[in-house]
Structures are given as C-alpha cells and as structure tokens.
Amino acid sequence: MGRAWRIEYEGAFYHLMSRGNNGQDIYFTDDDRRLFLETLSEMSERFDIEIYAYVLMPNHYHLLARTLRANLKKAMQWFGTTYTRRFNNQNARSGHLFQGRYKSILVQDDAYMMQLSCYIHRNPLRAGIVRRLIDYRWSSYPVYAYGRKRPAWLSTQRILSYFKAPEKHRQYRIKVQKYAGEEDRLLENFRHGLIFGTKEFVNDINKRFLPDMPFKDLPQQRKLAKAKDKKIQPEELISKVAKVLQIDLNRYIHSKRLRGIDKMNRDLIVYLLWNNGLETNTEIGDRFNMTSSAVSHSVKAFKKEMNRNRQAQKLFERFNS
C-alpha cells in the first residue's frame, strides 16, 4: 500500500482521524480519555494548531483542526507517539496503539468546517452509543450545542460565527439535529479521497502542490494527476458507454424502477461519473431523474456488484481506462 500524501501550508484546515490497531480500543478508561485530551492540548500549544471540534469514539477519533504553520506531519507524529507512550505506561502495556498512518483530509474553508463539525458530532448517534448527543461526554458537542465550559485549547468562535447571538448554541443544536439528511451533500464534495471542497479548490491545490511527475508510492497524487489530465466530458463518457452497451438512455431516465442488467448498466454509468469526479451527486441525479441520495445508493450498489460479479468489474475497468 502506498503512503499517504500530506499537503501542508500555513492556515490549512484538516479533518483528521486515526483508528486503533486491529480495531482495538484506544482508551480503556475515562482516565485514558482525559490523557488523550491533555495530550491534544499540548499538541495545540506546542505546534500552533487550532482545534475546532473533536469526538473520541471507542476505537478511533475525529478532529477538525487548522495548522498555523505548515507542520501537520510533525504535529501528528508527535501526538501519536506521545499518546501511545503515555497510554502504554498508564495501562502497563507495550506495542502499537494506532493502525498505521492517520488519515488527513484537506478542507477548503469555514463553510465545510461547519458542516464537518456536525458530521463529527453525530458519530456517537450513528454508532448507537447514545440516543441523545448531549449524553455523550467525550466530544465538543456540549460546548457548541449547550454552551458548556470550553477547554482553553478548543476554538469555537469560527464555527459558531455562522449563527446569531444570543441563540447561537440553540441554532447549532438544531443544525446538528437536522444534519442527517444533509450528509450526502457534504460527501458530494469529497474529492479524490483527499479533499473536501469545490472543483476550483482542487484545481488550486493541483497548481500549488502537485508535482509534474507524481510519486509512484503516493496513490493520491496519481489519482489527482489522472483527474487533472482527464479530457473526456460527461456527455462523451455517457455516449460511449451507451453505444458500446447498445442501451437506450431515455429508458433509464424515465423508468422509475430498473432491474437486472438494466439497473447494473445504469449504476455503471453513475459510478463512472462519480468515481472520476466528473459531476456531483446532484448533477448526476439531474441526468437520470434521481435524487442525490439515490445516486449515493446507486454508487454503493455498483461497488457491491463489482465485489461479487466479475462481469461488472470488467465493465468498469474497460470504460474507466
């Protein structure tokens, strides 16, 4: 497996996540969780990193952060190593704690940060750990949604500035409660496994950081370079697939329910458009008379189909090439 590509610059926003080795828990007790937050506080101060939101799940964590210096790799290496050493000492154990490298997603701006904070804070609810988010102690949600005491290292003003005083905490709470139906729209802007943002932002990152010759062991660089050089337009791709498969696109657009080979062919086109970043879920949905959520389901369906059906995988490889 190739290593992860870390894009670093002053003022960069990130969604950061890491999981326990082999899926194991990364905290055993509340003392461990407090130790984790203390270490996070030290990282924030030592490396000039602003922390906007966090959630501590049993076997992984999520952070929203901004690096005031171009030092993400140094900061996260220090954090992972330091917390592992302290955790091992506290629990009389040894060995790795985290599973490989941490995951970092570059985030375009404040608007995406606000949306991602909702996504992160809903984690305990999605996992079925609690029925009400306020009952989960180990996240920044109570600070945002109820105005609970804020640790000095947690920066909330940037995200809460989207809401009007004096009701900003209640407004944030309502936003999170309604956010379940908006997650698909957020994921539309997750591009190349590396960036949350618009196509224009991706192009800017390309110009600033993508080398002329991508490194072979950095798959994200290769994928971004491939997308940069892609000349085909959505209409051209759809037309070529329809011609080769001898299908009537109008039937796919106007049929409310597709089955069998028809559904697989439609899902193939949807997946090709989605996988190559040619259009957003909303744009794809407009083409096929589908909702954004239905496009997401179609993408998931074709992924499953490729896993169990060699014919579907060959079709994808043929057209994707």
Domain of 313: which CATH number? 1.10.1750.10
How many beta carbons lie within 10 A of that of residue 211, not counting itself?
9
Is pLDDT above 70 for 119?
Answer: yes
CATH number for the domain spanning 37: value is 3.30.70.1290
- Domain end residue (candidates: 133, 156, 188): 188
Whole-prediction pTM:
0.67
Residue 43 has pLDDT above 90, yes or no: yes
Asked whether residue 205 is assigned to any structural domain, the reply reads no
Assign 212 a pLDDT band (cuts: 50, 70, 90).
very low
Residue 163 has a pLDDT of 92
Q: Quick one: 160 and 245 in the same domain?
A: no
Q: Which residues, 6 or more positions from 89, have their beta carbon under 8 angstroms from its beta carbon?
A: none
**Is residue 76 domain-resident?**
yes
User: What's the mean per-residue pLDDT of the chain?
Assistant: 84
For 208-231, what is the mean pLDDT?
52
In a domain, 309, yes or no: yes
Let me know if residue 236 belongs to a domain.
yes
9-23 mean pLDDT: 93
What is the pLDDT averaged over residues 64-70? Answer: 95
Min mean pLDDT across 47-51, 115-119, 246-250 is at: 246-250
> Do 93 and 242 sit in the same domain of this protein?
no
d(CA 145, CA 172): 6
Region label for 12, one of left (φ > 0), alpha (ψ between -120 and 50) or beta (otherwise): beta
Same domain flag for 159 and 294: no
Residues 46 and 173 in one domain: yes
Residue range(s) defining the domain that contains residue 301 = 230-321
| Higher per-residue pLDDT: 86 or 237 | 86
Amino acid identity of residue 181, one-letter, is G
Both 97 and 181 in one domain: the answer is yes
Q: Residue 90: what are its φ and ψ, rounded to 5°?
A: -70, -25
Q: Annotate 104-128 with DSSP letters as a single string.
A: EEEE-SHHHHHHHHHHHHTHHHHTT
Same structural domain, 179 and 243? no
Which tens digit of pLDDT belongs to each residue from 255-287? Answer: 767 788 888 888 888 888 887 766 778 888 888
Judgement on whether residues 179 and 234 belong to the same structural domain of the protein: no
pLDDT in tens, 146-198: 999 999 999 999 999 999 888 999 999 999 988 876 665 565 556 656 778 88
Mean pLDDT, to the nearest integer, of 193-209? 76
Alpha carbon 134 to its chain's center:
24
Last residue of a domain, one of 159, 188, 217: 188
pLDDT at site 321:
65
CA dihedral 206, 208, 212, 214 (to 10 degrees): -60
Does a cis peptide bond (omega within 30 degrees of 0) precede residue 166?
Answer: yes
Percentage with pLDDT > 90 across the chain:
45
pLDDT, residue 227, reads 53
Reading the block at residue 151, the tokens are: 């640790």
The pLDDT assigned to 221 comes to: 47
State the DSSP string of 268-320.
HHHHHHHHTTSS-HHHHHHHHT--HHHHHHHHHHHHHHHHH-HHHHHHHHHHH
| Half-sphere exposure for 93 (CA within 13 Å, toward CB) | 13
- Total number of domains constituting the chain: 2
What is the structure's pLDDT at 44?
97
What pLDDT band is residue 241 in, cutting at 50, 70 and 90? confident
Q: Checking DSSP bridges between strand 60-67 and strand 195-196, what pairing results, if any?
A: unpaired
What does the pLDDT read at residue 94? Answer: 92
* Residue 171 resides in a domain: yes
